[in-house]
Structure 1
Amino acid sequence: MKYLLTFCLGLIFLSSSVFSQVKLNPAPDRRADEGEGPYDRLIIRGAIVIDGTGAPPAGPADIVIEGNKIVEIRQVGVPNVPIEDQGRPQGATKEIDAHGSYILPGFINLHAHVGGAEKSPNSEYPYKLWMANGITTIRGVPAANVAWTQSEKKRSASNEIVAPRIVAFHTLGQGEDWKGGPVYTPEKAQEWVQWAAAQGVEGIKFFNHDPAVLKAAIDAAHENNMGTVAHIAQPMVAQTNALDAARMGLDVLTHYYGLFEALYKDEDVQHWPAEFNYNDEQHRFSQVAYQWDKIHPRGSERWNALIEEFLENDFILDPTMTAYLAGRDLMRERNAEWHKEYTLPSLWDFYTPNRENHGSYFYNWTSWDETAWRNFYKVWMSFLNDYKNAGGRVTVSDDASFIYNLWGFGYIEEMELLQEAGFHPLEVIRGATLHAAQAIFEPKGKPIEFGVIRPGLLADLIIVDENPIENLKVLYGTGFLKLNDETGKMERVGGIKYTIKDGIVYDAVQLREDIKEMVKNN
């Protein structure tokens, strides 16, 4: 099949390579006018700090950054009272006036793909979309092929390109230089993990494996300080649901696959319709939602027991609700206001319903299907909220470039969906920052290096003029329409103003203008 990519949203691998790298271009070198710094001593003045830990906003504060590290956060006053210069940090080589603005840690996207080339041949496009929407770190699952990703990861780490920091996860058996053949046995899985660790791979993304292979790979990954995440594909879930995987030591569950199956009430395998064919994507994605009333209900003994066992295993849920949002309201996602200026024509062509492109399955999407998905979301959201309330960690990701889900914008949609599920915006932001950073660094056996605003950590930050706790919509690159009572007219407010990565200050407004030009010229 021409465009049947096989790396997310319920697919098994149908080929030995996830991406064709023939046309997926690496990012161009960062120009002199793209980003300023890092500075010997940058001081951000008068900001209201949302530190990412779940603590409430506090400010005004001055934040001191030396090179790429935060060295001081000093509270310098109280709201609505002029700030006295006495006692403020001095000696800046560069200052940013952020009085009245909000500063947050850079967002971390744990489920990211850069390719493939038929959607956007230039990786600069998704990179800048992510950066323009405040995402300073992505965990590629995978970003693209192993060698390509390792090259881009190094270039991003040295800030040779305008791109988020890249954490490289790959699928079991992936790698153009891997000479060991298909991975079907526990022994071969352990061999591949050792090879991948030597290549700089930081973790494994699982799809469809026999239980013994999955367990062997998880164990080998942890022996090599590598992380693990699973999309428990439907061909796999009859043998291994989310609870089984958690018991094996899996670190993170992405999407919802395996979650509902761990709560089935009167069945053990989903009761598919007689005409069901897994390779027909409309069959697959419509039928998912019809599980919503087949499970033990919220608050039941089985529901609570699953939460407790997830907690015992320190299991992280990375739901990517935004990836399936068109299922419950196709018209809304297809007509999202950012598509006109920010979606490449080639990506729009990929989205357009057809039987070959992954996620373009809306051949005959009915009110029945949308109703089922709305019910599914209610149950899914209630589990996520209950898990969070019990102390579980729920992170924020977009899994963008499928199903009308655009890089960067989909990430902010995911934040709104978590608020709909019952999360306070501070809990949402914590999932996007601290908890996501922990998901990256805990398997390495290291403390976090970014993810909260704290002295000693990397200066990955975003600045926005509006209050995201009042309205998460102000984080969208398109901002938010709000009435100006002085003019009597609706005006756009918000949109991230600056994205700071590694102490380098990027004008997020200019990044968005760059993206608009890419769209116009393609």
Structure 2
Amino acid sequence: MKYSITFCLACLLALPPAFSQIKLNPAPDRRADEGEGPFERLIIRGAIVIDGTGAPPAGPADIVIEGNKIVEIRQVGVPKVPIKDSDRPQGATKEIDAHGAYVMPGLINLHAHVGEAKKSPNAEYPYKLWLAHGITTIRGVPAENVAWTQSEKKRSAANQIVAPRIIAFHTMGSGENWKGGPVHTPEKAREWVQWAATQGVDGIKFFNHPPDVLQAAIDAAHANKMGTVAHIAQPMVAETNALDAARMGLDVLTHYYGLFESLYKNEDIQHWPAEFNYNDEQHRFSQVAYQWDKIHPRGSKPWQDLIDEFLKHDLILDPTMTAYLAGRDLMRERNAEWHQEYTLPSLWDFYTPNRENHGSYFYNWTTWDETAWRNFYKVWMSFLNDYKNAGGRVTVSDDASFIYNLWGFGYIEEMELLQEAGFHPLEVIRGATLHAAEAIFDPKGKPIEYGVIRPGLLADLVIVDENPIENLKVLYGTGFLKLNDETNQLERVGGIKYTIKDGIIYDAEKLRQDVKNMVKAQKQQQ
């Protein structure tokens, strides 16, 4: 008997105790059949290279990798003309035939959570979804708790697990071994930052702190060559908006919080409805969108002044538009075609509207709310595009596992949203690679080690048979439907073919099949 998708998803509401796991399992050790390499001399043959800097695609080119480093990118011909073997690098111990395929740097996700056990009991699931979509580095904000993340970070760096490289950001006061208690003063903030630096923490994620505590923490982080990113939550924004935080030296602003509040024209704080309660998430997330017409308009002096100040302080914007996409079209996100095969029942149960799970707030989502969010996106996108055009850096992230937003798939959605905002696909890819790498390495005072296809950098690469500049949809794990004019049939094309991390070649289709098998197995437990 066949059931409709709606029925199948609804039946996930009652899950057995097996899905009520408390502790997130780390990834299993990488098996011998998971990934090939690194190789003494790997040559990717005949590729069209998108290097990540914003430069146009060029090829055919041969890319030479020795161990985990790129050592040469050699242009070996011109399109539609046979390549002379005499012009090509030799001595490969392993070759990939990439003639006609496109190669990009590995993608970098600056806003990642590995998730909670009740969403996905096993870290292997999000890891493989990310790698299957070409994401070779994640910045956990946080990925999980400090000790767990440090362990997974080391195992990933050693390629003992099938996982992206992990950069570990944590919130102030967190850490199982932190004995200093809550962080409420500048002195305590500096103390926690010093402790975090000794634990291998790479940076700090801010949510809700008084201005003096925030300033002390940012200064201490920079003194320890640690990065900073802020989700300026509504309880904090009345005292510190995005402009205030930029002036304090914040490195990255994530989401939209504090941005609109920096542009108010007739109010100083948002004029919440009388019945508003921050702890009711539908109140919180619906009312955000109603700011769209409360700010100085695009092109006005305050609009341009804000862009100029952000540029002065070199603030990076990491918008995560995909995280709130259901707000403007709930039906689209809830019924995205990948959920049936790629979304775990336990994660779907978390998504299903309820008053306790974060981001599951669609109790009574109305056309009024969606209309406000559509208008909000128009303004938000305009600012992001203007900031990019002025020279500002805008990066790509997913903040997945909330609000019908699935790991990997949500990241490609974010890339599409930036194109909708006015970015050329090459600018989108630059934000996902070079600019994201700079966000990681600038606070360390170091040049990037990955993020561009360039000799001397790490061999983190993505190979896809279709042209992502023509259509970013080819990067989705599900690919996209395209008419074959010879057969007059729709065919599903695209999907990343190989993800290479640290010189190790992962078959992306096999990664996706592993994820499908995990979903099938959990469904069978119902």
Q: Once the two structures are superposed, what CA deviation does each residue of 1:326-365 show, in whole Å capped at 9, x if it has no partner?
A: 0000000000000000000000000000001110000000
Distance 2:45 2:433 in 1: 22
Q: Is 2:383 aligned against 1:374?
A: no
Checking the alignment, whether the CA contact within 8 Å between 1:206 and 1:229 is kept in structure 2 is yes
Distance 2:115 2:88 in 1: 46
Alignment of 1:443-462 (within 5 A): 443-462=443-462
Shift of 1:134: 0.5
Aligned match of 1:170: 170
Q: Is 2:335 aligned against 1:335?
A: yes
Q: Is 2:72 aligned against 1:72?
A: yes
Q: Which runs of 5+ in 2 are unaligned?
A: 1-19
| SS of residue paired to 1:310 | helix
Specify whether residues 185 and 21 from structure 1 end up closer, same or farther in structure 2 by C-alpha distance, changes over 3 A only: farther
Specify whether residues 321 and 454 from structure 1 end up closer, same or farther in structure 2 by C-alpha distance, changes over 3 A only: same
Aligned match of 1:240: 240
Aligned match of 2:7: none
Distance 2:417 2:376 in 1: 13
Q: Is 2:164 aligned against 1:159?
A: no
| SS of residue paired to 2:279 | coil
Distance 1:384 1:87 in 2: 43
Checking the alignment, whether the CA contact within 8 Å between 1:482 and 1:491 is kept in structure 2 is yes
Aligned match of 1:193: 193
Aligned match of 2:408: 408
Checking the alignment, whether the CA contact within 8 Å between 2:21 and 2:118 is kept in structure 1 is no
Distance 1:219 1:172 in 2: 14
Aligned match of 2:325: 325
Aligned match of 2:23: 23
| SS of residue paired to 1:491 | strand
Specify whether residues 501 and 231 from structure 1 end up closer, same or farther in structure 2 by C-alpha distance, changes over 3 A only: same
Distance 2:172 2:316 in 1: 20
Structure 1 segments of 4+ aligned residues over 3 angstroms from their partners? none
**What letter corresponds to residue 387 of structure 2 in structure 1?**
Y
Aligned match of 1:120: 120
Q: Once the two structures are superposed, what CA deviation does each residue of 1:448-478 show, in whole Å capped at 9, x if it has no partner?
A: 0000000000000000000000000000000
Q: Once the two structures are superposed, what CA deviation does each residue of 1:413-466 show, in whole Å capped at 9, x if it has no partner?
A: 000000000000000000000000000000000000000000000000000000
Alignment of 1:427-466 (within 5 A): 427-466=427-466
Aligned match of 1:134: 134
Q: Once the two structures are superposed, what CA deviation does each residue of 1:129-149 show, in whole Å capped at 9, x if it has no partner?
A: 000000000000000000000
Distance 1:430 1:243 in 2: 25
Checking the alignment, whether the CA contact within 8 Å between 1:21 and 1:145 is kept in structure 2 is no
**What letter corresponds to residue 225 of structure 2 in structure 1?**
N
Over the matched positions of the two proteins, sequence identity in percent amounts to 88
Distance 1:182 1:355 in 2: 27
Aligned match of 1:267: 267
Shift of 1:87: 1.6
Checking the alignment, whether the CA contact within 8 Å between 1:292 and 1:376 is kept in structure 2 is yes
Q: Once the two structures are superposed, what CA deviation does each residue of 1:251-275 show, in whole Å capped at 9, x if it has no partner?
A: 0000000000000000001000000
Distance 2:508 2:328 in 1: 31
Aligned match of 2:362: 362
Distance 1:353 1:141 in 2: 24
Distance 2:513 2:69 in 1: 28
Shift of 1:21: 9.3
Aligned match of 1:422: 422
Checking the alignment, whether the CA contact within 8 Å between 1:142 and 1:205 is kept in structure 2 is yes
Distance 1:134 1:390 in 2: 29
Q: Is 2:89 aligned against 1:108?
A: no
Aligned match of 1:47: 47
Distance 2:55 2:21 in 1: 43
**What letter corresponds to residue 457 of structure 1 in structure 2?**
L
**What letter corresponds to residue 502 of structure 2 in structure 1?**
D
Distance 1:366 1:94 in 2: 56
Q: Is 2:500 aligned against 1:500?
A: yes
Checking the alignment, whether the CA contact within 8 Å between 1:134 and 1:496 is kept in structure 2 is yes
Distance 1:22 1:190 in 2: 32
| SS of residue paired to 2:470 | coil
Distance 1:357 1:170 in 2: 21
Distance 1:333 1:59 in 2: 37
Distance 1:396 1:182 in 2: 32
Aligned match of 1:398: 398
Q: Which runs of 5+ in 1 are unaligned?
A: 1-19
Q: Once the two structures are superposed, what CA deviation does each residue of 1:263-318 show, in whole Å capped at 9, x if it has no partner?
A: 00000010000000000000000000000000000000000000000000000000
Shift of 1:23: 1.8
Checking the alignment, whether the CA contact within 8 Å between 1:30 and 1:162 is kept in structure 2 is yes
Aligned match of 1:93: 93
Aligned match of 2:284: 284
**What letter corresponds to residue 237 of structure 1 in structure 2?**
V
Q: Once the two structures are superposed, what CA deviation does each residue of 1:144-200 show, in whole Å capped at 9, x if it has no partner?
A: 000000000000000000000000000011101000000000000000000000000
Distance 2:410 2:80 in 1: 35
Distance 1:80 1:256 in 2: 46
| SS of residue paired to 1:130 | helix
Distance 2:115 2:381 in 1: 29
Q: Once the two structures are superposed, what CA deviation does each residue of 1:469-506 show, in whole Å capped at 9, x if it has no partner?
A: 00000000000100011111000111000000000000
**What letter corresponds to residue 257 of structure 2 in structure 1?**
Y
Checking the alignment, whether the CA contact within 8 Å between 2:67 and 2:503 is kept in structure 1 is yes
Distance 2:327 2:60 in 1: 43
Distance 1:333 1:22 in 2: 27
Aligned match of 1:347: 347
Distance 1:463 1:492 in 2: 17
Q: Is 2:32 aligned against 1:32?
A: yes
Given the two structures, how large is their TM-score scaled by the length of structure 2? 0.95
Aligned match of 1:316: 316
Aligned match of 1:206: 206
Q: Is 2:495 aligned against 1:481?
A: no
Shift of 1:22: 4.4
| SS of residue paired to 2:418 | helix
| SS of residue paired to 2:142 | coil
Distance 1:167 1:89 in 2: 34
| SS of residue paired to 2:167 | strand
Given the two structures, how large is their TM-score scaled by the length of structure 1? 0.96
Aligned match of 1:294: 294
| SS of residue paired to 1:291 | coil
Aligned match of 2:15: none
**What letter corresponds to residue 383 of structure 2 in structure 1?**
F
RMSD: 0.7
**What letter corresponds to residue 127 of structure 1 in structure 2?**
Y
Aligned match of 1:513: 513
Shift of 1:115: 1.8
Aligned match of 1:228: 228
| SS of residue paired to 2:444 | coil
